[in-house]
Every structure is written in structure tokens, then in C-alpha cells.
């Protein structure tokens, strides 16, 4: 377990301890109502990623409701399998499912070179690829995803929509070859950025672009930073490889 996840666990535990203390001091609300807002406040204070705010808010109520429902054992197994199928990247690569915003799509559609071959490392449900296919039919778009539920959604959508320029592959992003692509796009997390930069340096062709949504490569100055006016205040970091 990484430092990041230990920090999230500590937020949950601190909020739980504060809720118990307030209960002992005579707070009129039950523990299940006290802990979630405290966890949310601590998550904001500790600058946890925004998608963790909702998790902290719902974690204890969800646990209480699940215990109270007295669900059969197979229901928990099914939920675990679905969660693994949706977000196995969190366990293996510390990469959650992020969805590219419409504002990012508009910026990329306006800036990508004509006829570029783009590879999306960790394409999720294919939102970036389908958005670009609509805006830039001249692009050749390839996505790699290892979580099988998002991959299946993207794969079926590409087949049903009849988009020959969009290709979706089920596979490990670390094994995906980068040669032959003009643009490599990633919307991952801070955890793998140093490793992904090493892969880009080793495999990408000279002149290729590496674009990271929101997460910079440690200690490597990008050639361009583009702030995005969207709900998460994204930034596109662009590196143009010269060697």
C-alpha cells in the first residue's frame, strides 16, 4: 500500500475518531451522519484528489447500508469482480479512471497535427478517441486499456459506430509499442509519470509529441503548458521529442 492510500485511510480513521469523540461529548447525530462530513472536510484540507472527496463522503454510509441489507455472499463477490473489472488499474498501476473533458477535446482537436497517429495510453471508455474522431476525421486513433469493462465499452462502441480510424486494444500500457505514433496521450496519475516518461524517451520517434493531461513529469520542463477551463481546472503538458 502506497503512502497515498495510507493517507486516505488516515483521513477515514481521523474522521471516525472525531465522530466518536463528538458522540461522547453529547452530539445528537448518529455516527453514520457525523463521520462523512468530517471525512469530506479532512479530505479537502489534506488536498486529496477531488474524486476521493465523494468516496470519503459515501464510504461509511455505504458500509452501514451493505451490512444492514444482509446481502448474500455472492453479491459481495459480484461487486468485487465488477469493481476489479472497472478499475483494476488502481491496484496495479495506481491509475484511476479519469474522463477527458469536452474542453480538453476542443483544445486538442484544434492543435493536433494533420493526419496524426495518436495513441491513448489508458484510454478508459474511449471518450478522447471518439471525441477526436468526431472533430478530426483525418486522425488515426488507437487506445490501449487494461481494465476489461471500460475496454469492452470502448471496443463495442467503436465497432457499432463504424469508426475505422478508431482502434481499441485490451492490453497493458507498459507493453504497448510507441513507435509509429506521432502523438502519445496519457491521463493517468502522478504515480507512474516518471516511468511513462522513460518509456516515451526510449520508444517514441523523434518529432513525436507526448501530451499529459493534468499530471506533469517530475523534474522535466514541458515545451508547452495549456490551462483548460473545465470543472477540474486541467492543464495539458506537452513535450516535443527532438531525439
Decide which of 96 and 191 is more confident.
191
The 8-class DSSP code of residue 217 comes to: P
Residue 221 — very low, low, confident or very high, per pLDDT cuts 50/70/90?
very high
| CA nearest neighbour of 211 among 241, 167, 232, 231 | 241
What is the distance between the alpha carbons of residues 224 and 21, in angstroms, rounded to a whole number?
Answer: 50
Residue 1 — very low, low, confident or very high, per pLDDT cuts 50/70/90?
very low
Residue 37 — very low, low, confident or very high, per pLDDT cuts 50/70/90?
confident
C-alpha cell at 171: 492490453
pLDDT at 112: 96
pLDDT in tens, 160-194: 988 899 999 998 889 999 998 999 999 988 888 89
Least confident of 6-15, 56-65, 78-87: 78-87
Mean pLDDT of 49-69: 75
Mean pLDDT of 108-135: 94
pLDDT at 75: 60
Q: Taken in order 187, 189, 195, 201, is the CA torsion positive or negative? A: positive
Residue 92 has pLDDT above 70, yes or no: no
Decide which of 206 and 34 is more confident.
206
Decide which of 15 and 74 is more confident.
15
C-alpha cell at 224: 508547452
Decide which of 186 and 62 is more confident.
186
Per-domain residue ranges of the chain:
3-70, 102-240
Residue 86 — very low, low, confident or very high, per pLDDT cuts 50/70/90?
low
pLDDT at 197: 96
CATH number of 102-240: 3.40.50.150
Q: Which residues, other chains included, contact 173 with Cβ-Cβ below 8 Å and sequence gap of 6+?
A: 93, 121, 122, 144, 146, 196
C-alpha cell at 16: 471516525
The residue behind cell 508547452 is: 224
Mean pLDDT of 148-163: 87
| CA nearest neighbour of 158 among 126, 117, 134 | 126
The residue behind cell 509499442 is: 177
pLDDT in tens, 99-114: 788 999 999 999 999 9
The residue behind cell 492510500 is: 5
Mean of pLDDT over the chain? 83
Strand partners, 167: 142
Mean pLDDT of 210-218: 93
Cβ neighbours, 10 Å, residue 112: 20
Prediction pTM value: 0.69
pLDDT at 108: 96
Residue 66 has pLDDT above 50, yes or no: yes
Amino acid at each position: 500500500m502506497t503512502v497515498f492510500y495510507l493517507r486516505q485511510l488516515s483521513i477515514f480513521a481521523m474522521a471516525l475518531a472525531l465522530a466518536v469523540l463528538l458522540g461522547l461529548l453529547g452530539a445528537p447525530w448518529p455516527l453514520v451522519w457525523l463521520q462523512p462530513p468530517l471525512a469530506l472536510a479532512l479530505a479537502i484540507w489534506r488536498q486529496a484528489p477531488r474524486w476521493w472527496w465523494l468516496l470519503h463522503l459515501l464510504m461509511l454510509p455505504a458500509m452501514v447500508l451493505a451490512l444492514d441489507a444482509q446481502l448474500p455472499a455472492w453479491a459481495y463477490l459480484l461487486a468485487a469482480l465488477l469493481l476489479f473489472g472497472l478499475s483494476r488499474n488502481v491496484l496495479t498501476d495506481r491509475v484511476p479512471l479519469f474522463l477527458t473533458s469536452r474542453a480538453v477535446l476542443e483544445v486538442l482537436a484544434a492543435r493536433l497535427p494533420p493526419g496524426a497517429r495518436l495513441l491513448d495510453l489508458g484510454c478508459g471508455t474511449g471518450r478522447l478517441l471518439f471525441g477526436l474522431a468526431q472533430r478530426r476525421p483525418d486522425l488515426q486513433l488507437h487506445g490501449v486499456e487494461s481494465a476489461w469493462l471500460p475496454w469492452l465499452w470502448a471496443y463495442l462502441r467503436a465497432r457499432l459506430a463504424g469508426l475505422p480510424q478508431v482502434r481499441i486494444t485490451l492490453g497493458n500500457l507498459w507493453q504497448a509499442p510507441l513507435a509509429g505514433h506521432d502523438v502519445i496521450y496519457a491521463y493517468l496519475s502522478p504515480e507512474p509519470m516518471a516511468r511513462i516518461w522513460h518509456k516515451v524517451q526510449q520508444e517514441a520517434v523523434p518529432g513525436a509529441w507526448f501530451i499529459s493531461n493534468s499530471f506533469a513529469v517530475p523534474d522535466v520542463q514541458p515545451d508547452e503548458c495549456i490551462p483548460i477551463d473545465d470543472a477540474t481546472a486541467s492543464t495539458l503538458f506537452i513535450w516535443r521529442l527532438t531525439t
